[in-house]
Amino acid sequence: MPVATLLPFTATPNRKSASPTSFRLTEKFILLLVFSAFITLCFGAIFFLPDSSKLLSGVFFHSSAVETNTRTSPDSSDSGSAANDERILAKIRKDHEKALPAIAQNRPQRPTHYRPGWGDDCILSFIAYRPYMMKHAWDSYRRYAWGSNELRPVSKQGHSSNLFGSIKGATIVDALDTLYIMEMFEEFDAATDWVEKNLDFNVNAEVSVFEVNIRFVGGLLSAYYLSGKEVFRRKAVELGERLLPAFKTPTGIPWALLNLKSGIGRNWPWASGGSSILAEYGTLHLEFIHLSKLSGNPEFAQKVMNIRKVLNRLDKPQGLYPNYLNPNSGQWGQHHVSVGGLGDSFYEYLLKAWLMSDKTDEEGKKMYYDALQAIETNLMRKSTSGLTYIAEWKGGLLEHKMGHLTCFAGGMIALGADGAPNEKTGHQMEVAAEIARTCHESYTRTALKLGPEAFRFDGGVEAIATRQNEKYFILRPEVIETYMYMWRFTHDPKYREWGWEAVQALEQHCKVEGGYSGVRDVYAATPNHDDVQQSFYLAETLKYLYLLFSDDDHLPFDHWVFNTEAHPLPLIKKDKTDRPSKVE
């Protein structure tokens, strides 16, 4: 915090102003003494109050990164040889030039029309295949909230959460690739025009590094790879560069929050011991590797590779990754482990980093399968009636609760099953199918046939929310995401049937005249709308639904991985003539 803001700003009323000339010598001496005492106190406070290193590093980290034993910042370890940097740069440029034609060839083709044979109900495919849900969501946003981050569909006005600071247009950027994939080209062009003219990252405001990365950087990267329009590449790289100061911590583990103008970062005040969050600093990898590819700047890739170095040096309780890690000390905070909120997409990105590298990133692969094994041993349980769930782990004790967010794990495990070590492919596919079934149960056991934010397996209940503050549904995608992966890998029609059930529930209970809204209680007979159309509804929920009812060759998995916000990124194909690259 600038010192100026610590000083009183307004003058105290009713005090006579005293000119220095009106003081006598003794008064001047007393004043001098008081002033010296004040200065000593200020400096003393900085150096002697507890945890002053945190204060210093938070305030002054631009110039004085605190050295600790855990310091692994690439600034120090990788700056040794300029020649080496030059070689890496040249390699990146070469890779990028080679990658572009391959990406152009593999842009999704216009989707083929409905092919019967996968289910019984033509209406099902007809309704879900056509992007009419997207049209209603988009048209409503365009009509009532154009340029705002999100739409309030009931009160028909704009809405913004503080996750994006004063950046605008989250829904536009999050929706770009969905519009493109659904061939809504007039809408895509309007969105592109808005990005060109209005998307501005030069804002003096604090943003969530994670949210801005997955939605804005991810959205822009996908829009670039799909459409080839330069503006998206340029904006993605510009935003990536603005996020780099977040990594200026003693360990290189980034802050959760960053002021995009001043480059000053900090962590969420609620996070254990000033920690950064696993699912936040662990969900930058895919985008940052692509930013290096697209900019020719190795720094992005180095920053995220360094995160792994820090993690790999730490002891992991039972092989698990706690959700909290202090960026100053490089030590874990509370030993809480979750495959839902605070942990989820870290695991997803380990697997997808390996897949995106065309299976050359052996480190990511090992970290993923080791972590999954630890999760299976310590967190995965079966209920009395045989429902598999993933609980939360708190210092060795299990909380038998599973979040809606955790339901993405069915899709993740299915996606990784093929590469599973020790002939576990079949086993992992079974686990994925069981998680999909459990999450489907969490939907069917509600009045509105939409899933609660979290459901429990204790006190005689199974897959049901018992606490009022866990009964809401905010248009989240994770369950449909899992159906989509399970459909692609098994072609079992039940996944399309379950997707269709979700479509009906969304249409019946979330659709309002001004868009789609979340609901406050999925167990209530009639919906009480929360009046928010989340940007991820357009980026993820509707895209995964669309893909669930599309042919498998529409964005095929052997060419694309989806970032955690469902933005497709192309695989970086290995070049058989090249030696392994240091950057990857």
Minimum CB–partner distance for residue 186 and ligand DMJ (Å): 27
Tell which phi-psi region holds residue 95, choosing left (phi > 0), alpha (psi between -120 and 50) or beta: alpha
Residues 496-515 that bind ligand DMJ (CB under 6 A): none
Using CA atoms, how far apart are residues 310 and 250, in angstroms rounded to an integer?
A: 11
Q: Which two tokens stand for residue 311?
A: 């993690």
Q: Which two tokens stand for residue 474?
A: 């905010």
Residues listed for the chain:
584
Q: Sheet holding 257-259: strands in order across?
A: 206-208, 257-259, 265-266
Question: Could you tell me which residues come within 8 angstroms of residue 200 by beta carbon, excluding any fewer than 6 positions away?
Answer: 167, 168
530 binds ligand DMJ (CB under 6 A): no
Contact 566, 481 (CB under 8 A): yes
476 binds ligand DMJ (CB under 6 A): yes
How many residues sit in the footprint of ligand DMJ (CB under 6 A)? Answer: 8
Nearer to ligand DMJ, 255 or 562 (CB): 562
Q: Which residue, judged by CB position, is nearest to ligand DMJ in the bound state?
A: 564
Minimum CB–partner distance for residue 539 and ligand DMJ (Å): 8
Minimum CB–partner distance for residue 18 and ligand DMJ (Å): 58
Using CA atoms, how far apart are residues 400 and 383, in angstroms rounded to an integer?
A: 10
Catalytic residues: 211, 344, 453, 478
- Residue of 287, 291, 117 whose CA lies nearest to 215: 287
Residues 391-410 that bind ligand DMJ (CB under 6 A): 405
Task: List, in sequence order, the alpha helices (H) in 418-522.
Answer: 425-444, 478-490, 494-505
Minimum CB–partner distance for residue 296 and ligand DMJ (Å): 28
Contact 127, 141 (CB under 8 A): no
Residues 308-367 that bind ligand DMJ (CB under 6 A): 345
Minimum CB–partner distance for residue 77 and ligand DMJ (Å): 30
What number of other Cβ atoms are within 10 A of residue 190's Cβ? 16
Nearer to ligand DMJ, 536 or 549 (CB): 536
**Judged by CB under 6 A, which of 180, 354, 536, 546 binds ligand DMJ?**
536
299 by DSSP, 3-state: which?
helix
565 binds ligand DMJ (CB under 6 A): yes
Residues 262-281 that bind ligand DMJ (CB under 6 A): none
Q: What is the DSSP string of 251-316?
A: SSPPPSEEETTT--EE--TTSGGG-EEHHHHTS-HHHHHHHHHHH--THHHHHHHHHHHHHHHS--
Using CA atoms, how far apart are residues 543 and 141, in angstroms rounded to an integer?
A: 17
Nearer to ligand DMJ, 65 or 355 (CB): 355
**Judged by CB under 6 A, which of 276, 328, 564, 581 binds ligand DMJ?**
564
Nearer to ligand DMJ, 275 or 564 (CB): 564
Nearer to ligand DMJ, 61 or 536 (CB): 536
Contact 217, 287 (CB under 8 A): yes
Minimum CB–partner distance for residue 475 and ligand DMJ (Å): 8
Nearer to ligand DMJ, 91 or 404 (CB): 404
Is 377 labelled a binding residue? no
239 by DSSP, 3-state: which?
helix
Residues that constitute the known binding site for Ca(2+): 564
Residues that constitute the known binding site: 564
- What residues line the site for ligand DMJ (CB under 6 A)? 345, 405, 476-477, 536, 540, 564-565
